[in-house]
Amino acid sequence: HAPNVQRTRAGAARRIPPVSLKVYVVTTALRRRLADAVASLTTRANVNPVAAREMASSMMTTTTRALAPVAARSASRGVRAAVRAGPSRGFAPSLGARRSVYCKAVEAPVNPTELKPPANLHGFELVREDYVAEYDSKVFFFRHTKTGAEVMSLSNDDENKCFGVTLRTPPANSTGIPHILEHSVLCGSRKYPIKEPFVELIKGSLNTFLNAMTYPDRTCYPVASCNLQDFRNLVDVYLDAVFHPRCVDNEKTFQQEGWHYELDAPDQEMTFKGVVYNEMKGVYSSPDSVLAREAQQALFPDNTYGVDSGGDPTVIPQLTFAEFRDFHGKFYHPSNSRMWFYGDDDVEERLKILDSFLSEFDRKEIDSTIATQKYFTEPKRVVTSYVAGEGEEADKSFVQVNWLLNDGPFDTETALAVGFLDNLLLGSPAAPLRMALEESGLGEAIVGYGLEDELRQPTFAIGLKGVAKEDIPKVESLITETIAKIAEEGFTQAAIDSSVNSIEFAMRENNTGRFPRGLSLMLRSLSAWLYEGDPVEILRFEEPLARLKARMAKEDVFTPLIKKMLIDNTHKVTIELNPDKELGKVQDDEEKAKVSAYRAGLSPEEIEKVVADTEELKRLQETPDSPEALACIPALDITDIPKEAKSIPTDVSTVGATTMLTHDIFTNDILYAEHLMDLHAVPMDLMPLVPLWCRAMQRMGTSKRSFVDFDQLMGATTGGFSLSPFTSSIRGSDDVSAYLVLRGKSTGAQAGQLHDLMAEMMLDAKLDDKEIFKQLVLESRASMESRVQSGGHSVAAGRLDAMDSVAGYVGEQLGGLAQLEYLKTLAKRIDSDWDGVVADLEKIRAAVVARVGSVTNLTADAKTLEATAGAVQSFLDALPAEGTGAATEAWSKDLVLPPVNELITVPTQVNYVGKGANLYKSGYELHGSAYVINKLLGTTWLWDRVRVSGGAYGGFSDFDSHSGMFSYLSYRDPNLLKTIANYDGTVEFLKDISLDKDELTKAIVGTMGDLDSYQLPDAKGYTALMRHLLKVKDEERQQRREEVLATTEKDFKKFGEVLEATRAPEARVCAVVSPDAAKAAMKERPDLDFKVTSVM
């Protein structure tokens, strides 16, 4: 449960194979897309990770409407339930001896409706034949005759082919069996008997998606690729991993991924260790995660949702290997499986591949049904605690009200209606329930976020965090009274029109970002399929939407729903979560006591055995597979990779003072527009205020209409727009690319309205609502505090960047720890100097909203570009030619944080460890081989030492090719100084490296897969914009491509010399840790002269 992982740097988003996410809130969909956008921008455009993160953040408001509650299910049903996106793992199956493969995908018929079922069904029976017009897909539903395995087969012209196998895996306790199995089955299998085939394929696959996800009641194993043979390789490995894993006979894998006692010597401290164990300690360190867990378990005390499928750290050590093995034997069987294919590959071949695995099994009766939770006859209340620090948050509570809405999944039309209701209540800042809570002054930020309908029984949750304990009853009353008022007064037609347009726009756009469309449909289908529902009908929306709109025109659809599901519903649970400054110590003491009690019962000989077992496990973890063993993994050859870099159609022109970029790409009549204004115009002392200014511009209405009217008009006529800052270094230059980014989208016909509203906001937005602004500050502060605690690696990375470059420093002011400190001061200043705050907000607008130095980026087909040119021109003409009060001095090269080794302390049970140095400052000149080397490090040395044997949930490196900053980062790490030592050991690893031809080829091919990965049209236009801003020319991209393809072992050894800079005295450490971990590190390594910064 780490939503802030999704806000990480590009390197983290791209290269954290071990990160699993358990997410309970609707914004998960947005964060997932944000992470995908970050990875997409960086890997394809060579974008500074921090810049990519900030630019991707600018998508958030626009995306919010596109992924409004109902639409979120259209884009991906995997957005609200407890989703555990497990290790992002790549595989390539052995289909015989190693060979080079490169196949063109089989083209689907021009008209999918004409596609006929295969003549040879390979052991399957055709149960149903259908066509889903919304996605132009022919559907065949098959059942395997021998085992009963069910298969949904969708055929269309999408080259991004997808496959997934899903099993219902309801746990009976919180030992985390499903989660640990999800990790473990991917650690070698019958056909691929090596330690980690997924790592080998990460190195050399062209996949567009590799992952595994543990829900509260199911485990999913999805893959995707645009390359046909690569896709079939992935399918083969995943099927072998699921049905024939080595982990059920190898207790060492269980110990590595689950838990074990670790003891390096008889006289040292014994501890619990394990990847999932440490992951879940990180999860349970987040109060938001604790709240979500308590809510789910309180709503479902009598079925499988009443336990934690991810695992409770206090319970995980109770799990035995025998129980682990038996769970696989019970649930990981074809008779309990649901399989999914999507894309332009051949249907008969799909069945042939599946039957080759399934035919050796017999049908088995498996009871994996999810029991229905019976309704409560009266509301309940749960009062519990979370680990708090010593700061202001020590007095902040959470309160959340939760309802169970139905005794099973909704039918299609009801689901759509409830989704609309959810959107109307909470889907935008102008939604009445959301606005009532945000403007109440009773808390800092909303929690719960409404409807969750991915599990067997849908729920609704809403509340606030950052609440004074004495105000908890007021929050509960406000929720109850607001819902009652809405039921009495109903929704305005404007609100309904806004919701309908937002949802329809998103459904028809079907923009899933970098997340494959086929997998989003799979997750959607599963939410009915798993519970004996119709897996096809749930994919349709045109007819149900038309029926619902007809009903809404004749009757009040929503008041009866509100009364039935919220007002008169007795299955209601209120969660009160209060801070406890002593709880962290209590938990640590309890863990130590358990280990001590176990150790006290051991004889000296048994203690020696624990030491020997620890040593043996580490030896196995750190011993690589032999080249002969690795030969089971097939791979593409370098000669199969296109030699020419792909270009994006881009026309650059000058329109007045504006640089205009246009991209003639088919977008189905949607215009994607970005308007950038020069951020250098903002005085540096006002820079930390810019993020709040962006939010305020979108939250207070304008001189022409109220905020509610403005928001509803935007929703009713456009796809939404957003405003955010962006900064990045530019390689080879002291300049910093820094802009204010206004980003929006609409149909071509509504481009005029889109740009009229954009101009109205930029020129006429009000900035003088004190209470609204204060709430925005409190929300931002709460979000930043959560990020420090749950995504500390990104905070550490930002601090390291800020010590190194001007762009990093500015980025730190805009979104790092410096921003959090500024927010704390600003919250107090609002009460003492509100007039001064308003004056500063107006100074920012006067300085930055100007035509001079602006850039406009437009993506659509030529016809739409031509038709919308007038609307774009009118917007540009409305902007002032120059800003007033704009900064005139260039940003000094000395604008950086003092270089120190820093330990940032927060309440946490795990660490986030960063270390970095600037390679350019030590004389390194960029070469494409650096991308290959960086990728390999994340799947060899850092993976093995930081994650596998170190027990961290993630260990990776990130090279910002624009600033030259090379950073090591770890995620949910039980270690601190050991991890730093492992970072330093990278130098010897590279200097001594020995790569055979196959290993080198895989590294190169995998890197090319990153560079050439799949993009939707809007992402292509945005990538071209990033390349323009950061002065990355196609000629340079071609040069880097050739350097990547020509990488040799010698380049690795040379880079080892270059990385001496990361362990030189100039290198810096920054880590987010607990106060106790900081004290221990300072005592053990006084030479590092750590500076301690207490945040919470």
Residues annotated as part of the active site = 182, 257
In the chain, the amino acid numbered 934 is: N
Alpha-carbon span 84 to 171, nearest angstrom: 14
Do 780 and 32 form a contact (C-beta atoms < 8 A)? no
Alpha-carbon span 882 to 875, nearest angstrom: 15
Q: Across the beta sheet with 965-971, what order do the strands follow?
A: 954-959, 965-971, 912-918, 1068-1073, 902-905, 1091-1094
Do 515 and 33 form a contact (C-beta atoms < 8 A)? yes
Q: How far is CA 569 from CA 375, 399, 484, in A?
A: 9, 19, 13
DSSP E strands: which ranges in 409-490?
445-452, 459-467
Do 976 and 1077 form a contact (C-beta atoms < 8 A)? yes
Output the DSSP codes for 703-762. Answer: SSS-HHHHHHHHHHHSS-EEEEEEEEE-TTSS-EEEEEEEEEEEEGGGHHHHHHHHHHHH
Residue among 127, 16, 33, 133 nearest 78 (CA): 33
- CB contact set of 18 (below 8 Å; sequence gap of 6+): 87, 88, 275, 943, 947, 952, 953, 954, 955, 971
Q: What is the largest CA-CA distance in the chain?
A: 84
Handedness of CA 603, 608, 610, 613 (dihedral sign): negative
Alpha-carbon span 913 to 1088, nearest angstrom: 14
Q: What spatial distance separates the first Cα and last Cα of the chain, rounded to whole Å?
A: 20
Q: What is the CA radius of gyration of the chain?
A: 28
Alpha-carbon span 403 to 888, nearest angstrom: 56
> What is the 3-state secondary structure of 864-928?
HHHHHHHHHHHHHHHCCCCCCCCCCCCCCCCCCCCCCCEEEECCCCCEEEEEEEECHHHCCCCCC
Residue among 1081, 359, 465 nearest 778 (CA): 465
Alpha-carbon span 1006 to 834, nearest angstrom: 54
Tokens of 785: 């505090």
Nearest 10 degrees: Cα torsion 801, 802, 803, 805: 80
Alpha-carbon span 1005 to 1010, nearest angstrom: 9
Do 112 and 138 form a contact (C-beta atoms < 8 A)? yes
Parallel, antiparallel, or unpaired for β 207-210 and 137-144?
unpaired
Output the DSSP codes for 94-131. Answer: -SSS------PPPPPPSSGGGPPPPS--TTEEEEEEEE
Q: What angle do CA 907, 909, 910 make, to 5 degrees?
A: 110
Q: What angle do CA 973, 976, 978 make, to 5 degrees?
A: 105
**Structure letter (DSSP) for residue 374:** P
Q: What length is written for the chain? A: 1096
Parallel, antiparallel, or unpaired for β 271-273 and 218-225?
unpaired
Q: What angle do CA 533, 534, 538 make, to 5 degrees?
A: 110
